[in-house]
Amino acid sequence: MTERDWDDAVRLLDHADEVALLCHVGPDGDALGSMLGLGAALRGKGVTVVASFGDERMSVPSSYAYLPAQDLLVKPEDFPAAPALLVTFDTGSADRLGSLADRLETAGTTLVLDHHASNTRYGTVNLVEPAAAATAVVVAELLDRLGLPLTAEIAAPLYTGLVTDTGSFKYAATTPAVHELAARLLATGIRHDLISRSIWDTASLSYVRLLGEVCARAQLDPAAARGLGLVWTSVRAEDLSRHGLALSDVEGVIDVVRTAVEAEVAVVLKEDPSTGLLRVSTRSKGAVDVGAVCVGLGGGGHRFAAGYTSSEDVDATLARLTSALQAAPHLAA
Ligand code: 5GP
Ligand code: MN
């Protein structure tokens, strides 16, 4: 990412009267937060803004219900057919835009804001910073360069992106600059305690019960990843329906499974009730580049947190993944 890329992005947004925003399907806190944060800031300077994501049923997960500026969201069918300026957030590849991926062909200009190392640079202008802890960090820098002030309405979504993608400031990408940005965001008066409680510390009893079930049947394959070990479990559509839960409710299962010290790699296979396809979440502790493994299987992500979609059944998906892990080199500590 060069100064030229920043200048191009600033020029695009400075001159736009209308902007259409998209984040990836099954959005997490960074996808929604970076999108709504920039959306609120642009609206504040008089730009007409719409935002969406290409899920069959576009709904914001309940853990992000507090996010401001959700009135910018329109249903996929109401999203402009040929936006003059399209901006995408936290979306490493075109397919992750789901049913709205076709707008990449009809948009006049596309600006890509992201931090995935696997980003395929599908935009006209690509602001992709793999070292950034979150796409929200890229957006915050862009707002500074646009000379737009941080308000609480902008800060709450950006803080959401920052806290989500750093795992509450725990992961390695949490630099001094990340804490300095967090301080600026908190200084706007946002209720970070309520944000964190909603994201991390609020769940239904149904979820707690489902978590117990799927964790109880987790399997360990100590020989996988050339002896570093794999722990995995699955969440079937039947589990979701029995507990009255949606796919977006079980995003956090991987965070419990990955704590198993016996395995370098953790995997959760989640059956999407609307498509029957398996969403595969992978995590590693630092010795295996699961991002590269997932790119090889048609997905993407970060080195130690990545995913893909499989159209095979659980057994075939695991077999293919296990053989890809066997071929993956071990990284130096
Ligand atoms: P999660 O396991 O939480 O769904 O995703 C982990 C990371 O991998 C996130 O940064 C997410 O954006 C990325 N990721 C997950 N699935 C896919 C996929 O199918 N394609 C790409 N390009 N990235 C993915
Ligand atoms: Mn994301």
Take atom 7 of ligand 1 and give the residue whose Cα is closest.
306
Mutate to test the pocket of ligand 1, among 28, 90, 91, 96 (most ligand atoms within 8 A of CB): 96
All structural domains of the chain? 3-200 (3.90.1640.10), 205-327 (3.10.310.30)
96, pLDDT greater than 90: yes
Distance from residue 250's CA to the centre of ligand 2 (Å): 15
How far is the C-alpha of 131 from the C-alpha of 8, rounded, in Å? 20
pLDDT, tens digit, 9 for 90 and up, residues 27-54:
999 999 999 999 999 999 999 999 999 9
216 contact partners, CB below 8 Å, separation of at least 6: none
Q: Would the CB of 281 count as within 6 Å of ligand 1? A: yes
Coil, strand or helix at 135: helix
- The ligand that comes nearest to the alpha carbon of residue 301 is 1
Sign of the C-alpha dihedral, residues 200, 134, 177, 284? positive
What number does the ligand 1 atom closest to the CA of 268 have? 2
Indicate the pLDDT class of residue 289, thresholds 50, 70 and 90.
very high
Q: Would the CB of 309 count as within 6 Å of ligand 1? A: yes
Q: Amino acid identity, residue 246?
A: A
**pTM value?**
0.95
- The ligand that comes nearest to the alpha carbon of residue 118 is 1
Q: Would the CB of 301 count as within 6 Å of ligand 1? A: yes
Residue 1 is predicted with a pLDDT of 82
